[in-house]
Each structure stands twice: as structure tokens, then as C-alpha cells.
Amino acid sequence: MMQLAIGIACVLLVLFIGSFARVRVDLTSDQRYTLTPATKDLVDSLKDVVFVKVYLAGDLPADLRQLSGSLRDLLDEMRVRNPDMLQYEFTDPSASLDEETRNKVYEQLQKEGLQYTGIRTRGKGSESEVIVWPGAIVSYQGRSVPVQLLKSQMRSTDAEMVNRSINNLEYEMASAIRQAVTAHKARVAFLEGHGELAPIQVQDLANALGEQYAVGRVRLDGRIDALSSKAEGVTYRMNNYEALIVAKPDSAFTEKDRFILDQFIMNGGKVLWAVDMMDPHLDSLRTNQYSMATPLDLGLDELFFAYGVRMNKDLLLDKQCAPIQFFAQPYGNQPKLVTRPFPFEPLVVPDGSQPIVANIDPVRLRMVGSMDTIGLDSAHSTILLSTSPYTRVLRNPVRISLAVVDMDLALDRNNSPHQTVAVLTQGRFRSAFAGRLAMPDSVLKAIGYREWSRPTAQIFISDGDALANPVDSERGTFYPLGYEKSARAKIFGNREFFVNAMNYLLNDKSLISIRSRTISLRQLDPQVIETDRVRIQVANVVLPVVIALAAGLVFILLRKRRHAQAP
């Protein structure tokens, strides 16, 4: 009796101590229940209550139950960090038996920015469709941010979809909380006025960046105050934007516009350059199946050289390339649509630990040229993307022909491997106009001229089409950046690359670190499940019961035997 009392006292003591001290240990190999340092810092910094309302609840298919459970685990881990400032609730939007009430709830969720998903389920001899809302609303001080949890891709299986979504859960939730609690957004502008890509051609990237930043467009037109302004009594200019995107210009920049860009950078502005140095004349390629690519004179060479980069006037052929569709010789009276790998469209597989390119899908490029880095004492360069070992450099002028798809290019023998196509430069840069301005010092002082930049960063990619999303001109709509028409799905990592690039330039490295984590999905082999279903069910349901009964029977027999031998 005394032993029982001591045991109960020990248990109560442990429970009492446990109510004050929380000890949590993550024993999973991929640390799936451990928050990244960036998320911990975000949750710890909350000053008011963040409320997360999750609509992924109710009678769900097995895959979505797993996604819902993973989200609940994630929110529990966040609450452990700051239980007073983070609250959540799971609710089923389809719980009401009244169809009119359900439809009103659905309509309200759509207004708030969530999207539903139709899931087909199979019963005994029947098939039905279930409407689920794999999303959540994050609210903070009157502001709300919608979060779409299911990252579906038409080409993926259900398990792959769920795994991708689980991998992104922490990023999606942390990003939404960050948006909700941040009152001021960094300003990002797409440059226009030099033949840059039209708004609809960069709409998908603009939408993705718009979730985190205030995105707009700006024209220079020789105006010194287009990108920055100078207040009375202040020595230097203040930028109107934190970052600028130059997306595939096709006409030359004037001397004034180059000076405005240079001073924007000198004042700490970040620039993402996506620039073609060759014009492939694709209109001729579409009509004649060949064209001649000629150099583009954009007037940016001196700026790039001052910032540590030289973009070459050439084009690359790469054995590791994306497919294109084109009409070949007619088959009968009908044109024949064929799909072939096109070496002029390299498929670059990111390789490296640099946060911008970590764990992203291959990036598709079109008519890309090579670039070189130039050593600067005050800045350093990091190569972000390079082509495969089977690359050839074609010097200007370049003949582009669709016949290349059927040619033996011998890229495994005659090549110039690993050509650089994207570079990050960061540090302090000297103005490209240093020592060249024929102006009195008083005038330079009046306009706030800087010869040396504040610490800043720039990213260069030698393909303007890399950030262009496909456009359906007839319907006036666009497809996601990285979408492949032949596969009818988004399969390339272009969007993730440019969002990561902008996060890095704007010092949002915490978002990149969260996005780059990977959680492995342990799934059963569906073929084994189908063929050995009965055996698996017996092993998991019947066998544990049999083992327990057998253990109990052995225990009873041993006890009887011991009592029988007792005097």
C-alpha cells in the first residue's frame, strides 16, 4: 500500500512540475515539428493577437486530413512560442445542412480571397465530388490575409500535391502573419518606357510580389525625380522605391535615364536586371522557321561594367533544354504539330546552397546569353545560375533555326560547359559617371550626386523572357510564370526564383530560409496496398489484438503456476 501511495505521489509531482516547465523534443529525422529560427523570431515579436481561422475541416479525404493535421501541428508549435498572441480555430464551411446557408458561406469565402477545390471520392460502387476549402484567414488588428494551403498541380498525384503543400505550410503561414502585422510594405517598381515587357506579361510575378510588397510601374523620361527626391537642406537624394525591376528592354536608354538609374543605385536602391543582349527576331522564326539574331544596343554596358558584370552578345545552345511545339511537314492535308527539345531554351537546374536558388525547380530560359563577372574591390559576385556541362556558345551573329531540333550538335564533345546566366553582386559600387560629368561641383551638390553607393545589391540575368508569363492574347488572360503549355501545368521554378531574388534584395532572407526547408512524405506504395490489402489490414488490426491476448494468457498462466508452487 505504501508503494502505491509513493507511486501516485511521484506521478502527481511530475505533473505539477510539468505544468510550469514545457519540454518538447522533435525526434523526426527531418525535424518537421521544429520551427525555423525565422518563424520563431516572427511569432516571438507579435505585439497583439493574431487569429487564424482554418477552413480545412470536416469529413475530408485522407490526403487532406493529413494536410489539416500538419497545419494543426504547426499552429500548436507556434502557440508554444507565444500562446497569448496566437490563436486559431478550425471550422467546416460545409457543416450547415441548409444549402442556402452553405452557399452564402462559400460566397463570403470567395470574397475574402479563398478558392475551393473539388475532390472526387469513391465509395462502394459510386463516385461523388466533395467541395473543400483548403485555406485559412489570418486576422490582425482589423487586417486580414487569405492563405491558400493546397498547392495543386495538374501534373502531380494527390500525394505529391499534399507533400508540396506540407513543405510550404510554414512559409505560407509565416508569410501571411508577416503581411498582416506589417503596416508598411517595401515599394517595388517595374521600369517602363524602353520597350519593357507589358503589364500582362509580368502579371503573375507582380501578383506574387504584391502579396509582400507595394508593386507599381514607373517611367523615367529623363526626370531626375522619377526614382528619388531631394529635400531642402539634405545632402543626398532619398529613393522613392526600395527596388526596381528592369524586364527585357528593347530600346536604348538615354544618357539622362542611365544617370537616374545610376544614382538610384548609389542611394542604396536594389535592381533586378533581366536583359537580353541579342534580338532573336522571333517573328521571322515563326514564319520562316529560321532567323538571324542581332545585337541590341541598350546603352547599359558601361553601367553593368561599373557594377561588376559584363553581358556578352552571344546565344547559348544547351543539351539540357525545354521542349517547344511547332508545325512540321503536313501529314496529309493537316499540319502536323510536333514537340521537340529546343537547345535555344536551356533548362537550368539550380545547384548550390545560396538561399535564392535552394530547393527550387529548374528555371526555363529562352534565347539566353552568357555573362562574365568583373572583380571589384568594394563588392563581390555570386553565381546563381549556370548552364549544364553540355553547352555551346554561339557568337554574334547567330542563325536560329527550328532544324536544330533534328541535328546532332555534338554538345557532349564540342562544348563550353557551365556558362553563367545569373549573378548576384553586392557591396559598394562606384558610380558609372564618376569623373565623366562636365558639371560644376555646385550643380552636382545641388542635385545630390553620389560617387560611391551605400551598401546595396543587384541581380543580373541574361534573359528578359525568364520573368515573362505565357499570355493568351485572344482571351486577354495569362498563365502562371513557369507554366508549360504542352504539359498544361506549372512545372518550372521561374516564379520562385524571382520571388526569392526580390526577398533577398530587400533583406527578407527569413522568408527564403522558411521556403527552402523540405519535409519528406512517408507514403505507402499504392500498388502494394491494392494487391495486399487484406494482409495489411490483418497485420494492423487483428495481429495487435492477438498479441495482446496471447501476452495476457501467458501472464495468467505464469501467475497461476507461481501461486500453485507457493507453500
For residues 493 and 401, membership in a common domain is answered with: yes
CA separation, residue 192 to residues 196, 215, 225, 251, 294 (Å): 6, 13, 15, 11, 23
Burial of 377 (0-12, 13-18, 19+ CB in 10 A): exposed
Instruction: Judge whether 214 lies within some domain.
Output: yes
**What number of residues does the chain have?**
567
In the predicted model, what is the mean pLDDT of residues 177-184? 85
**CB of 406 closer than 8 Å to CB of 338:** no
Percent of the chain with pLDDT over 90: 44
In the predicted model, what is the mean pLDDT of residues 464-489? 89
Whole-number pLDDT of residue 167: 78
Residue 537 has pLDDT above 90, yes or no: no
In the predicted model, what is the mean pLDDT of residues 447-457? 94
**CB of 426 closer than 8 Å to CB of 456:** yes
Residue 153 has pLDDT above 50, yes or no: no
Residue 156 has pLDDT above 50, yes or no: no
Q: Looking at per-residue confidence, does 520 or 470 come out higher?
A: 470
Whole-number pLDDT of residue 157: 46
Whole-number pLDDT of residue 251: 95
pLDDT band at 99 (very low <50, low <70, confident <90, very high): confident
Q: Which of 161-165, 374-378, 497-501 is predicted least confidently?
A: 161-165
Residue showing cell 505529391 = 160
Residue showing cell 483548403 = 134
CA separation, residue 15 to residues 22, 265, 313, 442, 445 (Å): 11, 60, 72, 76, 71
What pLDDT digit, counting tens, does each position of 54-72 carry? Answer: 999 888 887 888 889 989 9
Average pLDDT of the chain, as a whole number:
84
For residues 199 and 106, membership in a common domain is answered with: no
Q: Where a domain ends, among 181, 205, 239?
A: 181
Q: Which amino acid is at 395?
A: R
Whole-number pLDDT of residue 152: 56
Instruction: Judge whether 284 lies within some domain.
Output: yes
For residues 201 and 334, membership in a common domain is answered with: yes
In the predicted model, what is the mean pLDDT of residues 383-399? 92
C-alpha cell at 501: 531574388
Whole-number pLDDT of residue 333: 60
For residues 197 and 165, membership in a common domain is answered with: no
Q: Which amino acid is at 216?
A: G
pLDDT band at 361 (very low <50, low <70, confident <90, very high): confident
Q: Which of 467, 273, 289 is nearest to 371 (CA)?
A: 273
For residues 460 and 536, membership in a common domain is answered with: no
For residues 359 and 213, membership in a common domain is answered with: yes
CA gap 457, 509 in Å, rounded? 13
What pLDDT digit, counting tens, does each position of 371-380 carry? Answer: 999 999 999 9
Residues with Cβ < 8 Å from 149, sequence gap 6 or more?
56, 67, 71, 134, 135, 136, 165, 169, 172
Instruction: Judge whether 474 lies within some domain.
Output: yes
Residues with Cβ < 8 Å from 460, sequence gap 6 or more?
273, 275, 304, 309, 311, 371, 422, 423, 425
Backbone φ, ψ for residue 561 (5° rounding): -65, -40
For residues 374 and 396, membership in a common domain is answered with: yes
Q: Where a domain ends, among 141, 164, 181?
A: 181
For residues 384 and 460, membership in a common domain is answered with: yes
Instruction: Judge whether 514 lies within some domain.
Output: no
Q: Which domain holds residue 544?
A: 527-565
CATH code for position 24: 3.40.30
Instruction: Judge whether 518 lies within some domain.
Output: no
Would the CA dihedral through 480, 485, 491, 496 be positive or negative? negative
Q: What angle do CA 323, 328, 334 make, to 5 degrees?
A: 125
Return the half-sphere exposure (C-beta side, CA atoms, 13 A cut-off) of residue 566: 6
Residue 258 has pLDDT above 90, yes or no: yes
In the predicted model, what is the mean pLDDT of residues 141-149? 88
For residues 279 and 244, membership in a common domain is answered with: yes
CA gap 135, 115 in Å, rounded? 7
Residues with Cβ < 8 Å from 18, sequence gap 6 or more?
none
Instruction: Judge whether 515 lies within some domain.
Output: no
Can you count the helices (H) and strands (E) in the chain? 15, 29
Whole-number pLDDT of residue 33: 59
DSSP state of 252: P
For residues 33 and 164, membership in a common domain is answered with: yes
Percent of the chain with pLDDT over 70: 84
Number of domains comprising the chain: 3
Q: Where a domain ends, among 181, 197, 228?
A: 181
Instruction: Judge whether 50 lies within some domain.
Output: yes
The distance in angstroms from the start CA to the end CA of the chain is 23
Q: Which of 152-166, 498-512, 538-552 is predicted least confidently?
A: 152-166
Instruction: Judge whether 326 lies within some domain.
Output: yes
Three-state DSSP at 65 gives helix
Residue 313 has pLDDT above 90, yes or no: yes
Whole-number pLDDT of residue 155: 41
For residues 339 and 426, membership in a common domain is answered with: yes
Whole-number pLDDT of residue 32: 55
For residues 307 and 271, membership in a common domain is answered with: yes
CA gap 444, 224 in Å, rounded? 12
pLDDT band at 125 (very low <50, low <70, confident <90, very high): low
Whole-number pLDDT of residue 513: 62
